[in-house]
Amino acid sequence: MGIIIILFFIAVILAFVMLYYRAWQIKTLRALPETPPHKLIPEMYFRHVEKILLNLAKYLVQWIVLVVVKYWFIIYTKVKKWGVKNWPKVYNLFKSSKEKEAEVNSQKYTFVQRAKLELQAKIRHTKEKVRREHEEENNKPL
């Protein structure tokens, strides 16, 4: 207990000595000019915020479109299956030819064009996934 009290008094005396020394430096103009403190939050320019929000908006729109497209294809495949099974003559009237895939040029795309191409690829992937899932359901033994 006595050692703790002695250490406390030594610490208080050292604190007063440091304060006295700093006051002497300031009084005699020997203190170095203070450097400005570092900024905790870095500067963020409007262009960075704009890019971030633009990408977030792109992902939000793509997610909404993908959800809608996914459920559209699910409904489409179920109705198609039902139509082929129950009304084959009507189904044959509405058959359409396969669509050709668009050729991709090596030009530089704008942000909207790239987002549209990404979305088309994701839609194609979702469509294939839904088609595979429904084919697996049809091929399961009962």
3-class secondary structure for 8-41? HHHHHHHHHHHHHHHHHHHHCCCCCCCCCCCCCC
At 105, the amino acid letter reads N
Task: Give the pLDDT of the chain (142 residues) as one tens digit per residue.
Answer: 788 889 999 999 999 999 999 888 888 877 766 777 777 777 778 888 999 999 999 999 999 999 999 999 999 888 888 887 888 777 777 765 443 344 445 577 888 888 898 999 999 999 998 888 888 877 766 5
pLDDT of residue 77: 87
pLDDT value, residue 138: 74
Strand, coil or helix: 84: helix
**pTM greater than the 0.75 cutoff:** no
